[in-house]
Chain A
Amino acid sequence: MKNLENKILKKIYFWEAKHLTFDLFLKFFLFLSSFLFFLILGEILLEILKEQKSFDLLNFYQEDFEVIKKYFFENVFVFWLEIPKFLLLLLFLTLSVFLTIILLVIKNFKIYKNKINNLFTWFLKRN
Chain B
Amino acid sequence: MTDKEVILRIKNGEINYFGILIKKYSNFVYQYLFLRIKNKEDCEDLLQEIFLNFYKNLIHFDENKPVKPYLFKIVTNQLRMFYRKRKKFFPLNKDVVDEESESLIFNFFNDEGEIFKKLNKKEQKVFELLKNGYKIKEIAKKLKIKENTIKSLIRRGRKKLKI
Contact = CB atoms under 8 A, between A and B. Distances in A.
A33 interface: no
Contacts of B13: 110-115, 118
Interface residues of A, number: 21
Interface of B: 11-16, 18-19, 22-23, 26-27, 30, 44, 47-48, 51-52, 55-56
B26 A119 contact: no
Nearest to B17: A118
Contacts of A13: 15
Contact of B22 (A5, A16, A110): A5
A63 to B, nearest CB: 58
A22 to B, nearest CB: 14
B15 A5 contact: no
11 contacts: A1-B26, A1-B27, A1-B30, A5-B19, A12-B15, A12-B51, A15-B55, A15-B56, A16-B55, A114-B15, A118-B16
Contacts of B12: 110-111, 114
Interface in A1-19: 1, 4-5, 7-9, 11-13, 15-16
Contacts of A16: 15, 55
A93 B15 CA distance: 35
Interface of A: 1, 4-5, 7-9, 11-13, 15-16, 110-115, 118-119, 121-122
A4 B34 CA distance: 14
Contacts of A112: 13
Contacts of A5: 19, 22-23, 26
